[in-house]
Structure 1
Amino acid sequence: MDKQPKVKNNNKKRKRALMRTTILAILIAAIGYTVYNSATAKDVTVLEVGDKAPDFSLVDLEGNSHKLSDYKGQGVFLNFWGTWCKPCAKEMPAMDRQYQAFSDEGVQVLAVNIAQSDFEVQSFADQYGLSFPIVIDKTKSVMTAYNIRPLPTTILVNSEGEIQRVITGEMTEQDIEGFMEEIKPD
Protein backbone atom coordinates (compact mmCIF):
# COMPACT_ATOMS: atom_id res chain seq x y z
CA MET A 1 0.00 0.00 0.00
CA ASP A 2 2.92 2.39 0.56
CA LYS A 3 3.97 2.14 -3.10
CA GLN A 4 0.77 3.62 -4.56
CA PRO A 5 1.08 7.09 -2.93
CA LYS A 6 4.75 7.17 -3.99
CA VAL A 7 3.75 6.44 -7.62
CA LYS A 8 1.11 9.20 -7.53
CA ASN A 9 3.65 11.67 -6.13
CA ASN A 10 6.17 10.72 -8.82
CA ASN A 11 3.52 11.22 -11.54
CA LYS A 12 2.61 14.65 -10.10
CA LYS A 13 6.29 15.61 -9.97
CA ARG A 14 6.82 14.52 -13.59
CA LYS A 15 3.75 16.47 -14.76
CA ARG A 16 4.90 19.58 -12.87
CA ALA A 17 8.41 19.28 -14.26
CA LEU A 18 7.04 18.82 -17.80
CA MET A 19 4.74 21.84 -17.41
CA ARG A 20 7.57 24.01 -16.07
CA THR A 21 9.87 22.92 -18.90
CA THR A 22 7.18 23.70 -21.48
CA ILE A 23 6.54 27.15 -20.02
CA LEU A 24 10.29 27.86 -19.88
CA ALA A 25 10.69 26.78 -23.53
CA ILE A 26 7.83 29.07 -24.59
CA LEU A 27 9.34 32.01 -22.70
CA ILE A 28 12.77 31.41 -24.24
CA ALA A 29 11.21 31.20 -27.72
CA ALA A 30 9.28 34.44 -27.16
CA ILE A 31 12.38 36.28 -25.96
CA GLY A 32 14.38 34.90 -28.89
CA TYR A 33 11.71 36.02 -31.35
CA THR A 34 11.63 39.52 -29.85
CA VAL A 35 15.42 39.86 -29.98
CA TYR A 36 15.51 38.55 -33.57
CA ASN A 37 12.74 40.94 -34.67
CA SER A 38 14.49 43.90 -33.06
CA ALA A 39 17.83 43.03 -34.62
CA THR A 40 16.47 42.46 -38.14
CA ALA A 41 13.79 45.18 -38.29
CA LYS A 42 14.24 47.73 -41.05
CA ASP A 43 14.62 51.32 -40.02
CA VAL A 44 11.12 52.66 -40.52
CA THR A 45 10.63 56.39 -40.34
CA VAL A 46 7.60 57.29 -38.29
CA LEU A 47 5.60 59.92 -40.10
CA GLU A 48 4.53 62.98 -38.20
CA VAL A 49 2.15 65.86 -38.67
CA GLY A 50 3.75 68.35 -41.08
CA ASP A 51 5.76 65.72 -42.99
CA LYS A 52 5.31 65.41 -46.74
CA ALA A 53 3.03 62.43 -47.38
CA PRO A 54 4.97 59.72 -49.26
CA ASP A 55 3.80 59.48 -52.86
CA PHE A 56 2.55 56.15 -54.19
CA SER A 57 0.62 54.71 -57.09
CA LEU A 58 -1.94 51.93 -56.62
CA VAL A 59 -4.67 50.50 -58.85
CA ASP A 60 -8.36 50.56 -57.92
CA LEU A 61 -10.97 47.85 -58.44
CA GLU A 62 -11.81 49.23 -61.92
CA GLY A 63 -8.17 49.12 -63.04
CA ASN A 64 -7.56 52.88 -62.72
CA SER A 65 -4.26 54.07 -61.30
CA HIS A 66 -4.32 56.46 -58.33
CA LYS A 67 -1.19 58.43 -57.51
CA LEU A 68 -1.31 60.50 -54.32
CA SER A 69 0.51 63.40 -55.96
CA ASP A 70 -2.30 63.63 -58.56
CA TYR A 71 -4.55 64.89 -55.74
CA LYS A 72 -2.36 67.93 -54.96
CA GLY A 73 -4.58 70.93 -54.31
CA GLN A 74 -7.24 68.70 -52.70
CA GLY A 75 -7.56 67.23 -49.24
CA VAL A 76 -7.12 63.45 -49.13
CA PHE A 77 -8.76 61.25 -46.54
CA LEU A 78 -6.36 58.28 -46.79
CA ASN A 79 -7.89 55.30 -44.99
CA PHE A 80 -6.01 52.01 -44.44
CA TRP A 81 -8.30 49.06 -43.78
CA GLY A 82 -9.11 45.35 -44.18
CA THR A 83 -12.36 43.48 -44.85
CA TRP A 84 -11.90 41.37 -41.70
CA CYS A 85 -11.57 44.50 -39.51
CA LYS A 86 -14.88 45.11 -37.65
CA PRO A 87 -14.20 48.82 -36.88
CA CYS A 88 -13.27 49.31 -40.57
CA ALA A 89 -16.57 47.83 -41.71
CA LYS A 90 -18.47 49.93 -39.18
CA GLU A 91 -17.00 53.26 -40.36
CA MET A 92 -17.11 52.60 -44.14
CA PRO A 93 -20.79 53.59 -44.74
CA ALA A 94 -20.22 56.86 -42.84
CA MET A 95 -17.05 57.52 -44.86
CA ASP A 96 -19.04 57.01 -48.05
CA ARG A 97 -21.80 59.42 -47.00
CA GLN A 98 -19.24 62.08 -46.08
CA TYR A 99 -17.29 61.44 -49.30
CA GLN A 100 -20.46 62.19 -51.26
CA ALA A 101 -20.96 65.38 -49.23
CA PHE A 102 -17.35 66.64 -49.51
CA SER A 103 -16.08 65.40 -52.90
CA ASP A 104 -17.41 68.50 -54.68
CA GLU A 105 -15.62 70.64 -52.09
CA GLY A 106 -12.16 69.27 -52.89
CA VAL A 107 -11.92 66.41 -50.39
CA GLN A 108 -11.19 62.97 -51.76
CA VAL A 109 -11.32 59.58 -50.06
CA LEU A 110 -8.77 56.96 -51.01
CA ALA A 111 -9.31 53.66 -49.19
CA VAL A 112 -6.18 51.49 -49.15
CA ASN A 113 -6.93 47.82 -48.53
CA ILE A 114 -4.03 45.86 -47.10
CA ALA A 115 -3.12 42.94 -49.41
CA GLN A 116 -6.45 41.17 -49.82
CA SER A 117 -7.77 39.61 -53.02
CA ASP A 118 -9.71 41.66 -55.57
CA PHE A 119 -12.68 39.34 -55.00
CA GLU A 120 -12.75 39.90 -51.21
CA VAL A 121 -12.44 43.67 -51.58
CA GLN A 122 -15.02 43.91 -54.40
CA SER A 123 -17.50 41.79 -52.42
CA PHE A 124 -17.03 44.07 -49.40
CA ALA A 125 -17.44 47.24 -51.51
CA ASP A 126 -20.59 45.82 -53.11
CA GLN A 127 -22.02 44.77 -49.74
CA TYR A 128 -21.69 48.32 -48.38
CA GLY A 129 -22.41 50.15 -51.67
CA LEU A 130 -19.16 52.13 -51.50
CA SER A 131 -18.61 54.81 -54.14
CA PHE A 132 -15.14 56.17 -53.27
CA PRO A 133 -11.97 54.77 -54.89
CA ILE A 134 -10.65 51.61 -53.26
CA VAL A 135 -7.08 50.54 -54.04
CA ILE A 136 -5.27 47.40 -52.89
CA ASP A 137 -1.75 47.54 -51.47
CA LYS A 138 -0.85 44.02 -52.62
CA THR A 139 2.81 44.19 -51.53
CA LYS A 140 2.16 46.23 -48.35
CA SER A 141 4.70 48.78 -49.59
CA VAL A 142 2.41 51.75 -48.93
CA MET A 143 1.49 50.37 -45.51
CA THR A 144 5.21 50.11 -44.75
CA ALA A 145 5.99 53.60 -46.11
CA TYR A 146 3.30 55.07 -43.85
CA ASN A 147 4.23 52.78 -40.92
CA ILE A 148 0.59 51.72 -40.50
CA ARG A 149 -0.41 49.90 -37.31
CA PRO A 150 -3.22 49.15 -36.35
CA LEU A 151 -6.18 49.03 -38.72
CA PRO A 152 -8.08 51.16 -39.30
CA THR A 153 -5.67 54.07 -39.57
CA THR A 154 -6.54 57.26 -41.43
CA ILE A 155 -4.02 59.83 -42.60
CA LEU A 156 -5.36 63.30 -43.36
CA VAL A 157 -3.35 64.85 -46.19
CA ASN A 158 -3.88 68.57 -46.79
CA SER A 159 -4.00 70.31 -50.18
CA GLU A 160 -0.21 70.89 -50.01
CA GLY A 161 0.45 67.14 -49.75
CA GLU A 162 1.44 67.30 -46.08
CA ILE A 163 0.22 65.06 -43.29
CA GLN A 164 -2.21 67.08 -41.23
CA ARG A 165 -3.36 64.39 -38.81
CA VAL A 166 -3.01 60.65 -38.09
CA ILE A 167 -6.06 58.87 -36.66
CA THR A 168 -5.87 55.31 -35.38
CA GLY A 169 -8.99 53.33 -34.56
CA GLU A 170 -12.65 53.62 -35.43
CA MET A 171 -14.22 56.97 -36.22
CA THR A 172 -17.82 58.08 -35.81
CA GLU A 173 -19.62 59.86 -38.63
CA GLN A 174 -19.24 63.14 -36.72
CA ASP A 175 -15.48 62.53 -36.48
CA ILE A 176 -15.26 61.84 -40.21
CA GLU A 177 -17.25 64.96 -41.07
CA GLY A 178 -15.01 67.09 -38.85
CA PHE A 179 -11.83 65.60 -40.32
CA MET A 180 -13.02 66.19 -43.88
CA GLU A 181 -13.89 69.77 -42.98
CA GLU A 182 -10.36 70.10 -41.58
CA ILE A 183 -8.67 69.15 -44.88
CA LYS A 184 -11.09 70.98 -47.18
CA PRO A 185 -9.07 73.36 -49.36
CA ASP A 186 -9.60 77.08 -48.74
Structure 2
Amino acid sequence: MVRRSVLSIGILAAMLAVPLVANAVHVGDAAPDFTGMDSNGKTHKLSDYRGKYVVLEWTNNGCPYTQKHYNSGNMQALQKEWTAKGVVWLTVLSSAPGEQGYMTAAQENSYMSREKASPTAALLDPTGAIGHEYSAKTTPHMFVIDPSGKLIYDGAIDDHATTDLSDVKVSKNYVSAALNEAMVGQPVAVSYTRPYGCSVKYQ
Protein backbone atom coordinates (compact mmCIF):
# COMPACT_ATOMS: atom_id res chain seq x y z
CA MET A 1 0.00 0.00 0.00
CA VAL A 2 2.80 2.39 0.91
CA ARG A 3 4.65 1.52 -2.29
CA ARG A 4 1.49 2.14 -4.33
CA SER A 5 0.94 5.51 -2.64
CA VAL A 6 4.52 6.57 -3.30
CA LEU A 7 4.17 5.49 -6.91
CA SER A 8 0.94 7.46 -7.28
CA ILE A 9 2.55 10.55 -5.81
CA GLY A 10 5.49 10.15 -8.18
CA ILE A 11 3.22 9.89 -11.19
CA LEU A 12 1.23 12.94 -10.07
CA ALA A 13 4.43 14.95 -9.57
CA ALA A 14 5.65 13.98 -13.01
CA MET A 15 2.33 15.04 -14.55
CA LEU A 16 2.46 18.39 -12.78
CA ALA A 17 6.02 18.94 -14.00
CA VAL A 18 4.95 18.65 -17.64
CA PRO A 19 3.55 21.92 -19.04
CA LEU A 20 -0.02 21.54 -20.20
CA VAL A 21 -0.50 22.69 -23.79
CA ALA A 22 -4.15 23.67 -23.88
CA ASN A 23 -3.90 25.71 -27.04
CA ALA A 24 -2.18 23.26 -29.37
CA VAL A 25 -2.96 24.20 -32.97
CA HIS A 26 -2.96 21.84 -35.93
CA VAL A 27 -2.70 22.28 -39.68
CA GLY A 28 -6.19 22.98 -41.00
CA ASP A 29 -7.26 24.78 -37.82
CA ALA A 30 -7.92 28.48 -37.57
CA ALA A 31 -4.64 30.03 -36.45
CA PRO A 32 -4.98 31.45 -32.91
CA ASP A 33 -5.32 35.21 -32.89
CA PHE A 34 -2.79 37.07 -30.79
CA THR A 35 -1.65 40.56 -29.93
CA GLY A 36 2.04 41.32 -29.68
CA MET A 37 4.30 44.36 -29.52
CA ASP A 38 7.21 44.65 -31.91
CA SER A 39 10.70 45.99 -31.35
CA ASN A 40 9.57 49.46 -32.44
CA GLY A 41 6.72 49.62 -29.95
CA LYS A 42 3.97 48.92 -32.49
CA THR A 43 1.16 46.52 -31.62
CA HIS A 44 0.27 43.75 -34.07
CA LYS A 45 -2.82 41.54 -34.08
CA LEU A 46 -2.89 38.50 -36.31
CA SER A 47 -6.49 39.29 -37.24
CA ASP A 48 -5.32 42.63 -38.67
CA TYR A 49 -3.64 40.64 -41.44
CA ARG A 50 -6.69 38.67 -42.54
CA GLY A 51 -6.59 38.54 -46.35
CA LYS A 52 -2.82 38.10 -46.43
CA TYR A 53 -0.46 35.18 -46.08
CA VAL A 54 1.43 35.31 -42.79
CA VAL A 55 4.67 33.55 -41.84
CA LEU A 56 5.62 33.15 -38.18
CA GLU A 57 9.31 32.51 -37.53
CA TRP A 58 10.44 31.61 -34.02
CA THR A 59 14.00 32.78 -33.44
CA ASN A 60 16.86 32.82 -30.93
CA ASN A 61 20.06 34.52 -32.06
CA GLY A 62 22.16 32.40 -29.69
CA CYS A 63 20.98 29.13 -31.22
CA PRO A 64 23.37 27.56 -33.76
CA TYR A 65 20.43 26.35 -35.88
CA THR A 66 19.11 29.91 -36.09
CA GLN A 67 22.64 31.15 -36.78
CA LYS A 68 22.89 28.71 -39.69
CA HIS A 69 20.04 30.45 -41.48
CA TYR A 70 21.14 34.00 -40.63
CA ASN A 71 24.89 33.57 -41.13
CA SER A 72 24.22 32.02 -44.54
CA GLY A 73 21.84 34.85 -45.45
CA ASN A 74 19.05 32.33 -46.02
CA MET A 75 16.52 33.76 -43.55
CA GLN A 76 17.08 37.32 -44.74
CA ALA A 77 16.64 36.25 -48.37
CA LEU A 78 13.37 34.51 -47.53
CA GLN A 79 12.10 37.53 -45.62
CA LYS A 80 12.96 39.85 -48.49
CA GLU A 81 11.51 37.56 -51.18
CA TRP A 82 8.18 36.92 -49.51
CA THR A 83 7.48 40.34 -48.04
CA ALA A 84 8.06 41.73 -51.55
CA LYS A 85 5.21 39.45 -52.66
CA GLY A 86 2.86 40.80 -50.00
CA VAL A 87 3.43 38.15 -47.32
CA VAL A 88 3.50 39.36 -43.72
CA TRP A 89 6.58 37.91 -42.02
CA LEU A 90 6.62 38.07 -38.23
CA THR A 91 9.74 37.01 -36.36
CA VAL A 92 8.84 35.98 -32.81
CA LEU A 93 11.22 36.04 -29.83
CA SER A 94 9.83 33.91 -26.99
CA SER A 95 13.03 33.63 -24.95
CA ALA A 96 12.41 34.67 -21.34
CA PRO A 97 14.56 37.29 -19.58
CA GLY A 98 17.86 35.72 -18.56
CA GLU A 99 17.54 32.93 -21.12
CA GLN A 100 19.49 32.43 -24.34
CA GLY A 101 18.08 34.59 -27.12
CA TYR A 102 16.30 37.12 -24.92
CA MET A 103 16.52 40.57 -26.47
CA THR A 104 15.32 44.01 -25.49
CA ALA A 105 13.73 46.08 -28.22
CA ALA A 106 16.95 48.06 -28.75
CA GLN A 107 19.05 44.91 -28.86
CA GLU A 108 16.76 43.27 -31.39
CA ASN A 109 16.75 46.34 -33.64
CA SER A 110 20.54 46.46 -33.50
CA TYR A 111 20.73 42.75 -34.32
CA MET A 112 18.35 43.03 -37.27
CA SER A 113 20.26 46.01 -38.62
CA ARG A 114 23.57 44.17 -38.31
CA GLU A 115 22.16 41.03 -39.97
CA LYS A 116 20.27 43.02 -42.62
CA ALA A 117 17.11 41.16 -41.63
CA SER A 118 13.85 42.45 -43.06
CA PRO A 119 10.80 40.80 -41.52
CA THR A 120 7.59 42.81 -41.40
CA ALA A 121 8.17 43.02 -37.65
CA ALA A 122 9.97 41.32 -34.78
CA LEU A 123 7.51 40.52 -31.98
CA LEU A 124 8.86 40.47 -28.43
CA ASP A 125 7.20 37.62 -26.51
CA PRO A 126 9.20 37.32 -23.25
CA THR A 127 6.27 35.75 -21.37
CA GLY A 128 5.96 33.07 -24.06
CA ALA A 129 2.24 33.79 -24.53
CA ILE A 130 2.35 33.68 -28.33
CA GLY A 131 4.76 30.77 -28.34
CA HIS A 132 2.48 28.68 -26.17
CA GLU A 133 -0.56 29.52 -28.32
CA TYR A 134 1.23 27.88 -31.23
CA SER A 135 3.12 25.24 -29.25
CA ALA A 136 6.32 26.61 -30.79
CA LYS A 137 9.02 24.11 -29.89
CA THR A 138 12.27 25.07 -31.58
CA THR A 139 14.25 27.88 -33.10
CA PRO A 140 13.56 28.06 -35.89
CA HIS A 141 9.97 26.80 -35.91
CA MET A 142 7.93 28.00 -38.86
CA PHE A 143 4.20 28.45 -39.41
CA VAL A 144 2.34 29.61 -42.53
CA ILE A 145 -1.18 31.02 -42.32
CA ASP A 146 -3.37 31.58 -45.37
CA PRO A 147 -5.54 34.65 -46.11
CA SER A 148 -8.59 33.02 -44.51
CA GLY A 149 -6.68 32.68 -41.24
CA LYS A 150 -6.11 28.93 -41.52
CA LEU A 151 -2.82 27.27 -40.61
CA ILE A 152 -1.45 25.57 -43.73
CA TYR A 153 2.10 24.71 -42.65
CA ASP A 154 3.72 23.88 -39.30
CA GLY A 155 7.26 22.64 -38.83
CA ALA A 156 10.88 22.86 -39.90
CA ILE A 157 12.22 25.49 -42.24
CA ASP A 158 13.80 22.83 -44.47
CA ASP A 159 14.76 19.18 -44.76
CA HIS A 160 18.34 19.38 -43.44
CA ALA A 161 18.29 19.32 -39.63
CA THR A 162 21.90 20.41 -39.21
CA THR A 163 23.91 23.49 -38.28
CA ASP A 164 26.01 23.23 -41.47
CA LEU A 165 25.69 26.41 -43.56
CA SER A 166 26.50 24.53 -46.76
CA ASP A 167 23.31 22.47 -46.38
CA VAL A 168 21.13 25.50 -47.09
CA LYS A 169 21.87 25.39 -50.82
CA VAL A 170 20.81 21.76 -51.18
CA SER A 171 17.80 21.85 -48.87
CA LYS A 172 14.12 21.76 -49.75
CA ASN A 173 12.60 24.84 -48.14
CA TYR A 174 9.21 23.87 -46.77
CA VAL A 175 8.06 27.46 -46.16
CA SER A 176 8.66 28.55 -49.74
CA ALA A 177 7.11 25.35 -51.05
CA ALA A 178 3.96 25.90 -48.99
CA LEU A 179 3.61 29.52 -50.10
CA ASN A 180 4.28 28.74 -53.75
CA GLU A 181 1.69 25.95 -53.80
CA ALA A 182 -0.97 27.81 -51.86
CA MET A 183 -0.65 30.98 -53.92
CA VAL A 184 -1.53 29.16 -57.12
CA GLY A 185 -4.45 27.34 -55.55
CA GLN A 186 -2.75 24.00 -55.02
CA PRO A 187 -2.91 22.01 -51.78
CA VAL A 188 0.25 22.16 -49.68
CA ALA A 189 1.96 18.86 -50.38
CA VAL A 190 3.96 18.84 -47.14
CA SER A 191 1.90 20.66 -44.52
CA TYR A 192 3.58 19.32 -41.37
CA THR A 193 7.15 18.35 -40.54
CA ARG A 194 8.98 17.86 -37.29
CA PRO A 195 10.67 21.16 -36.40
CA TYR A 196 14.37 21.10 -35.60
CA GLY A 197 16.64 23.43 -33.69
CA CYS A 198 17.19 24.59 -30.12
CA SER A 199 14.27 24.38 -27.72
CA VAL A 200 12.38 27.62 -27.24
CA LYS A 201 13.71 29.13 -24.00
CA TYR A 202 10.42 29.77 -22.22
CA GLN A 203 10.33 31.15 -18.70
TM-score normalised to structure 2 length:
0.66
2:155 alignment partner in structure 1: 167
- Aligned mates of 2:82, 2:157 — CA distance in 1: 22
Alignment of 1:1-150 (within 5 A): 35-39=12-16, 41-92=19-70, 93-115=73-95, 116-118=102-104, 119-132=106-119, 133-150=121-138
Change (3 A) 1:135 1:185: farther
Of structures 1 and 2, the larger Rg is shown by 1
Change (3 A) 1:88 1:35: farther
- Aligned mates of 1:156, 1:135 — CA distance in 2: 16
- Cα RMSD (Å): 2.7
Give the CA deviation at 1:100.
2.1
Deviates more, 1:47-56 or 1:59-68: 59-68
Deviations 1:112-159 (A, max 9, x none): 011322144233312211111111112100111111112211111111
Deviates more, 1:126-135 or 1:115-124: 115-124
Unaligned runs of 5+ in 1: 1-30
Query: How many pairs were matched up?
Result: 156
Aligned residues of 2:79 and 2:117 also touching (Cα < 8 A): no
Change (3 A) 1:100 1:137: same
- Aligned mates of 2:118, 2:135 — CA distance in 1: 26
Indicate the structure with greater helix content: 1
Change (3 A) 1:50 1:114: same
**Aligned AA (2:128):** K
Give the CA deviation at 1:78.
0.6
Aligned residues of 1:157 and 1:183 also touching (Cα < 8 A): no
Give the CA deviation at 1:105.
2.5
Change (3 A) 1:37 1:159: farther
**Aligned AA (1:155):** F
Give the CA deviation at 1:185.
7.4
2:145 alignment partner in structure 1: 157
- Aligned mates of 1:104, 1:70 — CA distance in 2: 19
Give the CA deviation at 1:53.
0.6
Aligned residues of 1:107 and 1:183 also touching (Cα < 8 A): no
